[in-house]
Structure 1
């Protein structure tokens, strides 16, 4: 298969998206290695914190063929050594000739990976499909900017609907908070042990304290199951802490649900209907604010 650099970036984005909800507090990242003719030599993604990053996995797949190749990566290669080695150095050691980056990393410490790659004589291009990369990374970027998880409010008319919301959102969130304030990992065992510091008891009832407690967990996305509470008057919503709303409405045509009126979500100006997600027993309505983070594109 032959790919343009834009095509390779979109493939890298797809790989990164496969790990949404698993990499926190790190971002989901994908990487594709191309030969000079556009042939794919290797590809990889970051699985979860503590495991090799996308660039390392892609270079391992490419092997000795990486010399003189182009690495296409969604986010700037890291320049710091943490649980895993610095990715910029892995690219230098592999002998790649060119690195195509979707988005600069706002968490770069000191001199960024882009500058270090250029110092090593590697041609670096920045900004390929940047808007599309921002769409993928919006919740992570938002979490960094706000110092707390990207918070999704889920509301439904009944218990079955809340379970439907839980199953719908679990693949993309780290934590789920039930109506009693109890916090649990969305999918048990998905993260390395101790990566998420889940509270042992329910969240504080005071909104600012609850948000602060969630910020200390290390999670980047969380679903709050709000039950039938009127979201427009919910303290977390009026305080400006909710970033997305999911509403489950059961299909009244189902015989066992005769007489059930569809739920009405009345949001203030500034919120838009972003998507409608059909599910087995009804529909999930997806609302998002017009400008969730200055300078960042909202999710599609």
Structure 2
């Protein structure tokens, strides 16, 4: 069964509204739905606004009312088939009398899957796979977490051209440019966890919040996760009320990720120091690398990553480049502020993670 141009347009619109800014990240996917009448005209649309709110299909059906009877529902994700905080969308579509459902991505969550069978059993025509890759890209971290049983991990670090994250005396502010740091905040906002180790917290006292171009704290802060066994001073900024914080008292990366997955977290932004990064790399738990490279040389100082146990070049950890972006100074910044380079990479052999968003 094919799809029409009107359905393709509707799917593009559904993907756009699913990505509406401000929707909280976490255990639920981003989903958009557009209802079309028999002539391919838009009747209504809806998108999921976060856990506990109506699903995209329910929101669109509510807007359409009786006009939904005989309509085509175009949805970015297979309609769910389970009852959680809200009822199953597949049953809602059946009861509304829609005649056709076109969706992009099959739901990888076994608890929610099965919507296709429910719809077809009710005599509704179902087509899947329209703009599948675009839908997977929309929910890349959520899809990965559901399929692998752990959060997707993006390791971010800033380095000089010769691979240093700090000078010989320990100073590191600022290796990256202000524009690169603002870009980091934008990437933080795409994740639902920012992770560091206890050593970084004690040494740098970071806030680990998302801030905008005027350094104001923005809403919908990621969870701050601190990994390590040592006790920490409650007066450190990571424990303030600007965002929630969890202290994961373990040195085991897998245990840390398991705890976060249980908390419904699906995308970790790993910003810890060289030792924590090395632990995740050695465990094979880094899925994406974002490196900001400054055109600066130190010649000595702290390495950007700790010992990986690699003794010979044949054992080197190889990365594939997904994207290269120049990060120029923002308007109003001093011309002396250097252009940084943002590299987005993935460990060789991993499936592409679709960071190409610039």
TM-score by length of 1: 0.80
Q: Which residue in the other structure is 1:274 paired with?
A: 322
Q: What is the CA deviation profile of residues 59-94 of structure 1, one whole-angstrom value per residue up to 9, with x for unaligned ones?
A: 223233211111000111011111011111211122
Contact 1:166–1:176, Cα closer than 8 Å, also in 2: no
Q: Is the 8 A contact 1:178 1:225 kept in 2?
A: yes
2:235 match: none
Q: CA deviation at 1:140?
A: 1.5
DSSP-derived class of the 1:219 partner: coil
CA change 1:61–1:145 in 2 (3 A) is same
For 2:102, the equivalent position in structure 1 comes to 100
Specify the structure having the higher radius of gyration (Cα).
2
* Structure 1 residues 149-191: Cα deviation after superposition (integer angstroms, max 9, x where no partner): 1000010134454844540212310011135377978687638
Which sections of structure 1, spanning at least 5 residues, go unmatched? 253-257
1:129 shift after superposition: 1.6
1:120–1:147 CA distance, 2 compared to 1 (3 A): same
Equivalent in the alignment of 1:172: 190
Q: Say which SS state the counterpart of residue 273 (structure 1) adopts.
A: strand
Match of 1:29 among 19, 27, 31: 31
**2:265 alignment partner in structure 1:** 219
Among 278, 284, 289, the alignment partner of 2:342 is: 284
Closer/same/farther in 2, CA of residues 119 and 202 from structure 1, 3 Å limit: closer
Give the equivalent residue in structure 1 for 2:252: 206
Secondary structure of 1:287's match? Answer: strand
Aligned partners of 1:175 and 1:184 also within 8 Å: no
Counterpart secondary structure, 1:178: strand
CA drift at 1:112: 0.8
Of 274-283 and 5-14, the range deviating more from structure 2? 274-283
Structure 2 residue aligned with 1:85: 87
Q: In 2 relative to 1, CA 36–131 (structure 1 residues): closer, same or farther, beyond 3 Å?
A: same
Q: Which residue of 1 aligns with 2:70?
A: 68
Q: What secondary structure is seen at the aligned counterpart in 2 of 1:71?
A: strand
Find the counterpart in structure 2 of residue 190 from structure 1. Answer: 220
Taking a change above 3 Å as real, the CA distance of residues 168 and 93 of structure 1, as seen in their structure-2 partners, is same
Is the Cα–Cα contact under 8 Å of residues 20 and 28 in structure 1 kept in the other structure? Answer: no
Q: CA deviation at 1:142?
A: 1.3
TM-score, normalised with respect to structure 2: 0.68
**1:287 & 1:132 partners in 2: Cα distance?**
20
Return closer, same or farther for 1:188/1:248 CA change in 2, 3 Å cut-off: same
Q: Secondary structure at the match of 1:209?
A: helix
Q: 1:93 to 1:166 in 2, by over 3 A?
A: same
Equivalent pair of 2:78/2:107 in contact (CA under 8 Å)? yes
Deviation at 1:107, TM superposition (A): 1.6
Structure 1 residues 202, 113: closer, same or farther in 2, change over 3 A?
closer
Q: Alignment length, in residue pairs?
A: 284
Superposition RMSD in Å: 3.5
Unmatched runs of 5 consecutive residues or more in structure 2: 160-171, 202-206, 211-216, 224-243, 306-312, 330-339
Summarize the alignment of residues 235-254 of structure 1 with structure 2, pairs less than 5 Å apart: 235-250=279-294, 252=295
Instruction: Report the Cα distance in structure 2 between the residues aligned to 1:114 and 1:276, rounded to whole angstroms.
Output: 40
